[in-house]
Structure 1
Amino acid sequence: MITVEHLSKRYGSHPAVDDVSFTCEPGTVTGFLGPNGAGKSTTMRMICGLTPPTSGTATVDGQPYKRMGNPGRRIGVLLDASAQHSGRTGREVLTLAALTMGIDRRRVDESLDRVGLNKTAAKRRVKAYSLGMRQRLGLAYALLGDPGILVLDEPANGLDPEGIFWMRGLLRDFADRGGTVLLSSHLLREVEAVADKLVVIGGGRIVAEGDKNELLAASGTVVRALDMGALDMVLQRVGLTGTKTTDGGVVVQADAEVIGRAAADAGLVLLELRPAGGGGLEQMFLTLTAGDSVKEAVR
């Protein structure tokens, strides 16, 4: 189990992470979502002891990562697939990890096979690996110690569609066997397919957290009018704001009845009025993080 409580990180006057709290429980995949620069990677680095928090705590099974004895046997981490010695072969990378963790070296070949790296790939130096192969090697490293927890930052980056489908099945199976997964990804449809719980961060703060299905069901109402300018004025008149969708409508955080009555009173012709849940995770994400910068924060 991962527990994050009132976690904050400041770089000078910039609050990269601001009072973030959430939990990741056994048997679940938690999707950790947010725009670039929202604080996802910083939060994950604090969980794994790589970045000291300004305040708050992050624990793994009740312990800070830095106090864990032989952490690789309890938590598998993949934060940067390129953070591997480019001059070593894939097998050498995992063999050294096995020696460090005190694991039987026979587990190396098992781990390589588990992530789809064959004997030829295992003998190749990491500098000759594609990004997708490095992702697979990084995942093999994370799984090597047979941990009960995985923390993965963009693990599907560089994988082809078949590889993404494979990873989805691997993570789902890991959680179904009682494992805990914290997964950050920009591939929203893949997160929607595999996650049980969602944590959405924007501007360093949690903007939504909870069961995936409940969050999707409560993500507002999609409305489209014959005259979108008039619709905007009607919404402002009743104290509501809308977030533009990719197909020309708006999502409003209000019941369909409230919007429909306001439109009817104004004589406005509506072309669409429905729950936003049908738009899936992508629409919910855009609604919750509206106004956040899409540019990576510079620190």
Structure 2
Amino acid sequence: MIEVAHLTKRYGGRTAVDDVSFTCAPGSVTGFLGPNGAGKSTTMRMLCGLTPPTAGTATVCGVPYRRLANPGREIGVLLDASAQHAGRTGREVLALAAAVMGVPRREVDVKLDLVGLGAAAARRRVGAYSLGMRQRLGLAHALLGDPRVLVLDEPANGLDPEGIFWMRGLLRDFADRGGTVLLSSHLLREVEAVADRLVVIGGGRVVAQGGTEELLADAGTLVRARDGAALGRALAAAGLDATPGPGGGLLVRADPDPVGQAAAAAGVALTELRPAGGGGLEQLFLTLTGGTTTKETTA
């Protein structure tokens, strides 16, 4: 339902997205992960027709977004919950969207109820909404046309724990009924709980993708030594990339055997050497991205 092929975006001499390719199949939730500035938002904007790519293609249901006759009936998009008319009520926002998409007016109340915005909240102006309420309204807008695809950027931002749990169930139900979800979020534990597949991006390039269980089972190795500097030099000499891990250890994108051999060859005594998979998605994320963040830049 979503196919991104060799997508690239350059701004002058800077490459924000570099040859990114992935697919999102019906009946699945795909977690789209990466540190700030990795290119996630730019990729999603290109997918949704807001930013023209320098090279490559992005299609929804086999068609570029801008060629969809009635996009809201095919793909529901939530990229910025704050990008809503502050002077309109929640009901007015959805009623206008329903008129544009040709959706029956009764669906407005159905979707408001679905996202937990009751009659009183629906009568309030959006400018008086909390961030969590704006997220719920944005999700109602995305669902209004009963699309087959959802593209959501940080949809849980501003929600309380109960709201996050509710959203997880809603997205899982959408996918279980055959829908396709592309979900970007910094709440890694929530992504781990709901996503079937993961696409991890760093420095504008895809650094890993595959089934969630598959990637978590191959999360690399956690290694620790009393002389951390010597361990780092030993790993570098063996061509093994290491990033900071929990408790002062190092995360290495390799099996334990070559990591242990590199330490032994350099005479470095280890205090811990084990597969890192037990750390879940957060540890995998740090292993793949190095735990680095940069200032987000989009255009």
Q: One fold, TM greater than 0.5?
A: yes
User: Which is worse superposed, 241-250 or 23-32?
Assistant: 241-250
Aligned to 1:149: 149
What one-letter code is carried by the residue in structure 2 that aligns with 1:275? Answer: P
Alignment of 1:227-242 (within 5 A): 227-242=227-242
Q: Which string of whole-angstrom CA distances, capped at 9 and with x for unpartnered residues, describes residues 211-269 of structure 1?
A: 11111111211011232233223323433232111321101122212223443455543
Query: For this pair of structures, how many residues does the alignment match?
Result: 299
Does the aligned pair in 2 maintain the 1:240–1:252 contact within 8 Å?
A: yes
CA distance change for structure 1 residues 40 and 84 in 2, over 3 Å: closer, same or farther? Answer: same
Please give the per-residue CA displacement for 1:175-197, whole angstroms capped at 9, x wherever unaligned: 01110000011111111111111
Q: CA deviation at 1:298?
A: 6.9
User: Could you say which residue in structure 1 is the equivalent of 2:11?
Assistant: 11
Give me the whole-angstrom Cα distance separating, in 2, the residues matched to 1:153 and 1:262: 41
Q: Which residue of 2 aligns with 1:281?
A: 281
Q: Distance in 1 between matches of 2:267 and 2:57?
A: 54
Aligned mates of 2:260, 2:207 — CA distance in 1: 27
Q: Deviations over 1:106-163 (max 9, x none)?
A: 1111100000001000000000000000000000000011111000001001001110
Q: Equivalent residue for 1:108? A: 108
Distance 1:41 1:265, change over 3 A: closer
Instruction: From the superposition, tell whether residues 267 and 114 of structure 1 become closer, same or farther in structure 2 (CA, over 3 Å).
Output: same
Counterpart of 1:258, as a letter, is P
2:60: which partner in 1? 60
Alignment correspondent of 1:140: 140
Taking the aligned partners of 1:62 and 1:88, their CA distance within structure 2 comes to: 35
Alignment of 1:71-220 (within 5 A): 71-220=71-220
Is this contact kept in 1: 2:41–2:298, CA < 8 A?
A: no
- Amino acid of the residue matched to residue 148 of structure 2? G
- Residue 214 of structure 1 aligns to a residue whose secondary structure is helix
Q: Does structure 1 retain, via aligned residues, the 8 Å contact 2:243–2:291? A: no
Q: 1:203·1:292 contact (CA, 8 Å) conserved in 2?
A: no
Determine helix, strand or coil for the equivalent of 2:246. Answer: coil
Following superposition, the deviation at residue 96 of structure 1 comes to 0.7
1:50 paired residue number: 50
**CA 1:261/1:54 → structure 2, altered by over 3 Å: closer, same or farther?**
closer
**For residues 95 and 120 of structure 1, what CA distance do their matches in structure 2 show?**
16
Question: Normalized against structure 2, the TM-score is what?
Answer: 0.96
Q: Which runs of 5+ in 2 are unaligned?
A: none
Q: Which is further off, 171-180 or 208-217?
A: 208-217
TM-score by length of 1: 0.96
Identity of aligned pairs, percent?
A: 74
Contact 1:31-1:183 at 8 Å conserved across structures: yes
Q: Give the 3-state SS of the residue equivalent to 2:57 in structure 1.
A: strand
Unaligned 5+ residue runs, structure 1?
Answer: none
Rounded to whole Å, the distance in 2 between the matches of 1:116 and 1:122 is 10
Q: Report if aligned partners of 1:74, 1:147 keep a CA contact under 8 Å in 2.
A: yes
Which letter does structure 1 place at the counterpart of 2:124? R
Residue 256 (structure 2) aligns with: 256
Shift of the 265–54 alpha-carbon distance from structure 1 to 2, 3 Å rule, reads closer
Q: Which piece of structure 1 moves more, 216-225 or 238-247?
A: 238-247
Would you say the 8 A contact 1:47–1:59 is kept in 2? Answer: yes
Cα RMSD (Å) of the superposition? 1.5
- CA 1:39 to 1:65, structure 2 compared with 1: closer, same or farther past 3 Å? same
Paired amino acid for 2:11: Y
SS, match of residue 247 in structure 1: helix
Q: Which amino acid is the alignment partner of residue 64 of structure 2?
A: P
- Structure 2 letter corresponding to 1:38: A
